Structure 1
Amino acid sequence: METKDPMSELLLSLEQIVLTRNVMQAIPALKNEVALPEPKRVREITGMQIDEFAQALGVSVSSVKSWEAKRTKPSGSAQKLMQLIQSNPCISRQLLS
């Protein structure tokens, strides 16, 4: 029967704790690395003009222009809506109704 060295067991446990802690701290950082939808690309996929796209998202034309010029970032809700439109471009026309 094999006997385990208490010191090596302790070191192994501490190593696992540190590794787990590092992984848990990295999880919020991964959320920030999720690619944001590119407003111009999403708009072009839909075939909409800037004014139509702004209306579909419920924002001003100047906001869309600012996003496309990368001067500002869309709000969280606008980003989510663009992700939805990107996955199903037909939705954008329904949003105009």
Structure 2
Amino acid sequence: METKDPMSELLSSLEQMIVLTREGMPTALAQNDIMAMPESQRIREITGLQIDEFAQVLGVSVSSVKSWEAKRTKPSRSTQKLMQLSKSNPYLSRDLLN
């Protein structure tokens, strides 16, 4: 029997159901729309950060984030790991901005 982390399952479910808009108000999106988004964009929207804030937290340029979200390039392994940390704890990204 496989044991799953309840927090990870909860975050995954929330990610599929809601995406935060710029105003911080939840907006329901179809699951297909969410799954079609690049992972970096999904994580950025989960954290509620603007592109420039997300870039600052990750230590990359705004153009890098835009390139990931346009699916032109992919983030480095270390950046992907930092994004996964942000995904696990969306408040971490906000804390890193201060």
TM-score (norm 2): 0.60
Structure 1 residue ranges without an equivalent (≥5): 1-36
Partner residue in 1 for 2:26: none
Poorly superposed stretches of 4+, deviation over 2 Å: none
For 1:95 and 1:76, the matched residues in 2 are separated by 20
Structure with bigger helix share is 1
Larger CA Rg, structure 1 vs 2: 1
Between Structure 1 and Structure 2, the one with more strand by share is 2
CA contact (8 A) 1:57 1:95 kept: no
Mapping of 1:47-86 within 5 angstroms?
A: 47-86=48-87
Q: Is the 8 A contact 1:67 1:73 kept in 2?
A: yes
| Identity percentage of aligned residues | 79
Quote the RMSD (CA, aligned, Å). 1.1
TM-score (norm 1): 0.60
Question: 2:45, 2:71 → 1: CA distance?
Answer: 16
CA distance in 2, matches of 1:47, 1:91: 11
- The Cα shift of 1:46 comes to 0.7
